[in-house]
Amino acid sequence: MAPIPSTPRELTPAEREVLEFMVSADFAGADRLRAQIPHCRVVAVWAEGQPSVDLAVSRTVAPAQLPDGELPSGSEVRTSAGEYLGEVLVWVGGGYLSAIEYAWVTDEAPDRLPDVSTMKLV
């Protein structure tokens, strides 16, 4: 299924918090990705009512020297009892943050990103 383009908009507080959490890990290029967050805009949703989104970053910000694909750090999402709910992935294209994906394993699709308190970097 192709993403649904939308009018570019600012990140929500939850999207910003998830991005900041995901690039808080220590890996090559993380500092450049952190600097991109204030310049990120959401440009598409992956499915109506679901939290995965495509991002665009102003090219006035320096790219990170990372291969295209998911970040070197991922994040598991678990309940307070430790039940696995899914994972959050952040994607990079051309050295720029390009998407936030919430991949879930529950019966019902989530309608929002998880709180970072339920996430663990892996």
pLDDT above 70 coverage of the chain, percent:
99
User: What is each CA distance from 51 to 15, 27, 65, 86, in whole angstroms?
Assistant: 9, 25, 27, 13
Give the model's pLDDT for residue 90: 97
Q: How many domains does the chain have?
A: 1
By residue range, what is the domain housing residue 89? 4-121
The structure tokens listed for 70 are 């998911």
pTM attached to this predicted model: 0.94
User: What is each CA distance from 13 to 95, 114, 122, in whole angstroms?
Assistant: 23, 12, 23
List of residues 6+ apart from 106 with CB closer than 8 A: 85, 86
Give the model's pLDDT for residue 1: 65
Is residue 41 scored above 70 in pLDDT? yes
C-alpha to C-alpha distance for 22 and 26, rounded to whole angstroms: 10
Bridge partners (DSSP) of residue 96 are: 93
Using one digit for the tens of pLDDT, what is the confidence trace for 53-96?
A: 999 999 999 999 999 999 998 899 999 999 999 999 999 999 99
Mean pLDDT, rounded, of the chain:
95
Give the model's pLDDT for residue 18: 98
